[in-house]
Amino acid sequence: MKTLISAVLVFLFTFSTITSSQTIEPEKFSNYLKSGRWAVQFELGTFINPDYFQGIELSIKPQLGSSSALKLGVGFNRSTLSGTTRQENLSKPKIDEKNSFSVSLTYIHYFNPKDRVCFFAGFGPLYTYDDVKQEYSNIYRFGSSTTIYETYNSSKQWSVGGRAIMGIEWFLHERVSLLAEYNMEFLIGKYNGTTTSKTYYTFEHAEIEVRDEALDVTNFRFNIVKIGLSAYF
């Protein structure tokens, strides 16, 4: 993931350096918010709460006109925590893994498309998919006896809904800009999960319990801020 981010940032920095050699006088400035032009955008998303990282979004944005555009975005995120639960000579793995994927199509309207700093707003449909796997253990010793509780969680969730955005785009050059967006999302979907619990006692057979869940899910997400870069062609 870090390699991908570094590669994209290097590409955009190189692109900016090359194109900035074509100096434009301030009074003659014009950006690429024009019909027939298109942009590649790279964004990082997070809630205002810094403990939550939403992920990376790569988008293609063709301009329908100077004041309107369509943005097709693909977002993804992968987080993995792994370790070991130990007590004396016993050790058990601890895993928490989440993979997320999203696809969105957003209509964008620019309020002042001829300026260097442009304000915009937009809305459109959104699809998300989450896959979560967890494994953890608790170990208890009582004299010469040992009890081990192992838990395995596996869940999948898909949702459809809509996203509304507002933000600013600051053109460093006619072809390169910085982005800042505020996003709100409303989603409805399905959650399916399985929890398997295993209990081991000294000198006894393991007890196994399996629980399945199927839920209808409704989410309203707000305070999502994204920052990024655009390269226009």
What pLDDT is stored for residue 43 in this prediction?
94
CA distance 18 to 175: 11
- Judged on CB neighbours under 10 Å (0-12, 13-18, 19+), 10 is exposed
Distance CA(169)–CA(219), nearest Å, equals 28
Distance of CA 21 to the CA centre of its chain: 34
Q: What is the pLDDT of residues 2-36, one digit of tens each?
A: 444 555 444 545 544 544 444 444 556 789 999 99
Amino acid at 112: N
- Cβ(149)–Cβ(197) under 8 Å? yes
pTM reported for the whole predicted model: 0.79
Q: Please state, in angstroms and rounded to a whole number, the distance separating the CA atoms of residues 92 and 82.
A: 11
Distances (CA, A) of 39 to 68, 70, 214: 13, 10, 41
Question: Would you identify the CATH topology of the domain 2-232?
Answer: Porin (2.40.160)
**Strands (DSSP E) along 38-175, which ranges?**
38-47, 53-65, 68-87, 90-110, 117-142, 145-173
pLDDT of residue 148: 85
Provide the residue ranges of all domains of the chain, joining segments of one domain with +: 2-232
- Taking only the tens of pLDDT, the chain with its 233 residues reads 544 455 544 454 554 454 444 444 455 678 999 999 999 999 988 756 554 556 899 999 999 999 999 999 999 988 888 888 777 677 888 899 999 999 999 999 999 999 999 999 999 999 999 999 999 888 887 777 888 888 999 999 999 999 999 999 999 999 999 999 999 999 999 999 999 998 988 777 788 999 999 999 999 988 788 999 999 99
| DSSP alpha helix (H) spans, 68-124 | none
Question: What whole-number distance in Å separates Cα of residue 62 and Cα of residue 37?
Answer: 6
